[in-house]
Amino acid sequence: MRFVRYGERGVERPGILKSDGRIVDILSLLPGLPDLGPLFFTDAWVRVLENLDGPGPSPGVRLGPPVARPEKIICLGKNYADHAREGNMSLPGEPLLFCKTPNTVCGPNDPVVLPESSGQVDFEVELAVVVKTTCRRVSPLEAMDCVAGYMVMNDVSGREAQFGDKQWFRGKSFDMFAPMGPVLVTPDELGDPGNLTLETLVNGNRMQAGNTRDLIFKIPEILAYISRDITLVPGDVISTGTPAGVGIFRDPPVTLSAGDVVECRIEGIGALQNRIVAG
């Protein structure tokens, strides 16, 4: 299944995206159903909705982020060897984790606002995993049972702040710096998440191209590693890293300016398309 959230920012409604492009308004059929977040995943609503069909919004409605208010957004750095090499960085011996804050979350077609306090804004296409159940000290063999589904995420990065601060928190956590979507695809529909092509286009020019088979740490390893000491809860987002081609490591560097359009695509899921706007 493919889940979406649609409507104005802050009042999005959950929906199901059908193969013909229609969105089914879940709440019109099941008014008591929770939003796509912790209660939705905990109570296993996915099984109830498999054959749901009915009315929905008119075409062209705004899509919001497919997950409502994730408690945690945990990201991996240097999880593609080619990306580490392009930055002249050593490969990590264990997953390198950092966080983005919830204020970064925005929809798949929302504008991304340039921050006042950092230049060199960059793009990073990533496969994002959404957690469906409380996950603590799971083994790699158990880990995939904790996955609700997958999204595209752009780990937008303010490189001037990231490198100037000598740690990544601020440069990764500016408002609107985590466009997500366009859908949450359930594992049964997506199939193997370990062999998906990813790419980023800026103003129509391909900048990144990779495949999730090149992840250094695969999804089961990532979930096991994080949950060893950090309890994951339903609705948490794990973003698995980006392939080579980011702007800052190009010669000359390519960074984003107002008016640029960034498109991040992942096979089997879809695309984000975000315009960069002045703050």
pLDDT tier, 47 (very low <50, low <70, confident <90, very high otherwise): confident
The token pair at 144 is 């995939």
SS3 29: helix
Q: What is the pLDDT of residue 80?
A: 93
Domain count for the chain: 2
DSSP string, 39-106: HHHHTTHHHHTTT-----PPTTPPEE-SSSS-S-EEEEES-BHHHHHHTT-PPPSS-EEEEE-GGGEE
The token pair at 163 is 């490198």
pLDDT tier, 263 (very low <50, low <70, confident <90, very high otherwise): very high
Q: Does residue 106 contact residue 151 with C-beta atoms inside 8 Å?
A: no
Domain-ending residue, one of 64, 86, 103: 64
The dihedral of CA 40, 45, 50, 51: what is its sign? negative
pLDDT tier, 260 (very low <50, low <70, confident <90, very high otherwise): very high
Question: What is the rounded CA–CA span in Å between residue 16 and residue 8?
Answer: 17
**Does 233 lie in the same domain as 99?**
yes
CATH of the domain at 273: 3.90.850.10
Question: What is the rounded CA–CA span in Å between residue 269 and residue 256?
Answer: 25
**Does 152 lie in the same domain as 29?**
no
Q: Does residue 13 contact residue 40 with C-beta atoms inside 8 Å?
A: no
The 8-class DSSP code of residue 249 comes to: G
pLDDT tier, 48 (very low <50, low <70, confident <90, very high otherwise): confident
SS3 179: strand
SS3 170: helix
**Does 241 lie in the same domain as 218?**
yes
The parent domain of residue 16 ranges over 2-64
pLDDT tens per residue across span 210-253:
999 999 999 999 999 999 999 999 999 999 999 999 999 999 99
**Does 222 lie in the same domain as 164?**
yes
The token pair at 268 is 């089997």
**Does 42 lie in the same domain as 20?**
yes
Q: What is the pLDDT of residue 145?
A: 95
Q: 158 forms bridges with which residues in the sheet?
A: 121
Identity of the amino acid at 14: P
Q: What is the pLDDT of residue 46?
A: 75
Q: Does residue 224 contact residue 116 with C-beta atoms inside 8 Å?
A: no
**Does 176 lie in the same domain as 248?**
yes
pLDDT tens per residue across span 157-206:
999 999 999 899 999 999 999 999 999 999 999 999 999 999 999 999 99
- Reply yes or no on whether the pLDDT at 51 is more than 90: no
Q: What is the pLDDT of residue 86?
A: 82
**Does 116 lie in the same domain as 38?**
no
Q: What is the pLDDT of residue 147?
A: 97
**Does 101 lie in the same domain as 41?**
no
Q: What is the pLDDT of residue 237?
A: 98
Q: What is the pTM of this model?
A: 0.96
- Reply yes or no on whether the pLDDT at 275 is more than 90: yes
**Does 152 lie in the same domain as 38?**
no
The token pair at 164 is 């100037």
pLDDT tens per residue across span 105-163:
999 999 999 999 999 999 999 999 999 999 999 999 999 999 999 999 999 999 999 99
Q: What is the pLDDT of residue 171?
A: 97
**Does 235 lie in the same domain as 102?**
yes
The token pair at 57 is 């919004």
